[in-house]
Amino acid sequence: MMSEMEQKLRSEAKALLEQGRVDYIIGYEAGSLKFTTTPLITNDKDDVDLLVISPFITNNLSVFLRETNGKAGIVAKGCDSRSIVSLIQDQQVSRENLVIIGVPCSGVIDIAKIETMVGKDRDEIDDIAWEGDKAVVTIGGARKEFSTREVLMDDCLSCEMPTPQEYDILLDEAGHLVCDKELSRSRIKELEDMSPEQRWTYWKNEFSRCIRCYACRQVCPACFCERCFVEESEPQWLSPLPRWQDNLMFQVGRMIHVAGRCTDCGECQRACPVNIPLRSLSKKMEEIVDELFHYKAGTDKDALPLMAHYELDEAEDFIR
């Protein structure tokens, strides 16, 4: 059944295209697999009936803004809208060319968590839907209820800004997300509790599995260099071969490059085909940026980007 938010999205998107206020719409349509969505980029007003809002709208669509010309109407959750603001700050996109259709987000459901809890593959599950603050999973007529903290993606568990702060149209009233920050950073805590030697071994093992597909980079709106440092041949910073040392250095370099831009959207970890826990790096980096510079990415479109300015009272104790 179509939700009120989905209905409003479709009529707003249609009006935007019909009135020529945008050249195209960037949103979500149902994916080919159960409980997935896929990006929809269209300038055809008949396609707006394909637009969906569901607990599975994972992609951070702002990544497409640099690849499309003209004026865009873009569907944005809280974290996506912060990525858009960050791109505006970095002068990668222009605010005048955007109509931001804000989704007050209830969090994205992690289908892998549900599959593990019910011991079934997604194809064997009939339905997953929110009923109040419970996720109801229906299998063969039987219902199972799960709490928000059990089913949400790790990044959503600690989301402080689920409702976009920057928008032109808001599809519903601002919502409130129940957070569990401790659970959200439990993997990071495990790493913090390790000795440096244990951490080194942990990441060595993880990055030995990296196949250097670059999916993590491609889905990330903060990774927007025309030419990535891993592809440079003069000088060649890294070997193109997926040796664990080079894989680790690729990710360390990437994390430094997205510092002050990463909005903890969780897309890099979700996209990784070999399930490397990349959020343990990106979230930690986001925390360090906040702690050292009192800076949260994408919260002020008029502010200078973190790496483009310097304050006299900034912490310098990391410079040795």
- Which residues sit at the interface with ligand SF4, rule CB under 6 A? 60, 77-79, 105, 107-108, 155-156, 159, 162, 177, 210-216, 219-222, 258, 262-268, 271-274, 276, 282
Q: For residue 249, give every residue at least 6 positions away whose Cβ sits within 8 Å of its Cβ, in sequence order, or none.
A: 237, 238
* Closest separation in Å from C-beta 86 to ligand SF4: 8
Q: Which is nearer to ligand SF4, 12 or 155 (CB)?
A: 155
User: What span, in angstroms and rounded, lies between the C-alpha atoms of 7 and 13?
Assistant: 10
Q: Which is nearer to ligand SF4, 151 or 272 (CB)?
A: 272
* Closest separation in Å from C-beta 106 to ligand SF4: 7
Q: Report in angstroms the alpha-carbon separations of 4 from 53, 74, 142, 192, 275.
A: 10, 18, 27, 43, 35
Q: Report in angstroms the alpha-carbon separations of 245 from 200, 206, 239.
A: 11, 11, 9
* Closest separation in Å from C-beta 237 to ligand SF4: 15
User: What span, in angstroms and rounded, lies between the C-alpha atoms of 205 and 32?
Assistant: 33
Q: Which is nearer to ligand SF4, 13 or 259 (CB)?
A: 259
Q: Which is nearer to ligand SF4, 17 or 238 (CB)?
A: 238
* Closest separation in Å from C-beta 96 to ligand SF4: 24
* Closest separation in Å from C-beta 265 to ligand SF4: 4
Closest among 281, 279, 288, 204 to 243, alpha carbons compared = 204
Q: Which is nearer to ligand SF4, 45 or 209 (CB)?
A: 209
Q: Can you tell me whether residue 124 is helix, strand or coil?
A: helix
